[in-house]
């Protein structure tokens, strides 16, 4: 049984308990999904918020889902 998979960003092994899966949706369609370790997740969210803030899209149905 494997509950450990590599982080999509840094490639380090991360257990399911610690991993975060982020899904990016545009117009209610999933366009990307990544499994991230806690470190990469923190950095990813930071970048995403910065980009969203500068673009100011705010479309309904677009955004991120974090599992």
Residues that bind Zn ion (CB under 5 A): 7, 9-10, 37, 40
Shortest Å, Cβ 2 to Zn ion = 18
Following DSSP, what letter does each residue of the chain receive, concatenated? ---EEE-TTT--EEETTT-EEEEEEETTEEEEEEEE-HHHHHHHHHHHHHHHHHH----TT-EEEE-
Shortest Å, Cβ 67 to Zn ion = 16
**Of 2 and 29, CB closest to Zn ion:** 2
Shortest Å, Cβ 64 to Zn ion = 17
């Amino acid at each position: 049984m494997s509950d450990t998979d590599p982080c999509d960003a840094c490639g380090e092994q991360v257990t399911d308990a610690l991993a975060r899966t982020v899904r990016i949706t545009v117009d209610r369609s999933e366009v990307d999904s990544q499994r991230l370790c806690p470190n990469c997740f923190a950095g990813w969210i930071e970048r995403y918020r910065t980009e969203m803030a500068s673009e100011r899209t705010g479309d309904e149905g677009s955004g991120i889902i974090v599992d």
